[in-house]
Amino acid sequence: MKLKFNKDGLIPVVVQDVYTNEVLMLAYMNQEAFDQTIETKEMVYYSRSRQTLWKKGETSGNVQFLKSLSYDCDEDTLLAKVEQKGVACHTGKKSCFYRDIVSDETVSNETILPELFKVIKQKQETPDGGYTNYLFDKGVDKILKKVGEEASEVIIASKNNNEETIYEISDLFYHLLVLMVNNGIELSEIFKELSSRRK
């Protein structure tokens, strides 16, 4: 492997959440930042504005633990998959890429849960008077009641082995995501726990 650093001695790094595959940020490394990242397994970058190394989360506590590092076919871009503690963006958002220019409503099977989770979070932050906000307004007892109801409906539909099973499972997934947002549980925490059960 011979990485191609640009004329300034830098290489771009696309940073992705290892559990959700969400793209978190784009940063740069020089050789020293690269070496420190490999050695410590914590993400270290080079700040072009400050002209110095910076360890992600050094002041904010939002550390990134390196889980895998790949390079592209041209050997001039890195892809880092990380376990993100807290948020990646200095604005307080999970990802730096939170503003859309073009947004197709179609989402892939791989991203539907993260996308739906993101929408539910946005509804909590910016109420629109819809059903999701109704649940948040009523509080955890109402949300738990709905989770219980939907779980029961999954059992009944599955017992009868009818086409409603898919609809009821989808309802249960949705209400569980609302519960997670209400209780401050990140989707990445669930994915991490599920990942640990593969053994």
CB 85 within 8 A of CB 62: yes
- List the Cα angle 20/22/28 in 5-degree steps: 130
Please give the distance of CA 169 from its chain centroid, rounded to a whole number: 23
Instruction: With a cut of 90, say whether residue 148 has pLDDT above it.
Output: yes
pTM of the model: 0.68
Same domain, 187 and 119: yes
127 and 65 together in one domain: no
Map residue 107 onto helix, strand or coil.
Answer: coil
What mean pLDDT is predicted for residues 141-152?
A: 97
Choose the final residue of a domain: 45, 64, 84: 84
> Does 3 map to a domain?
no
Shared-domain flag, residues 190 and 116: yes
In this structure, are 77 and 18 located in the same domain? yes
Same domain, 116 and 187: yes
- As for how many domains the chain has, the answer is 2
Q: What is the pLDDT of residues 21-56, one digit of tens each?
A: 889 999 999 999 999 999 999 999 999 999 999 999
pLDDT at residue 105 in the model: 63
Which residues span the domain enclosing 160? 112-194
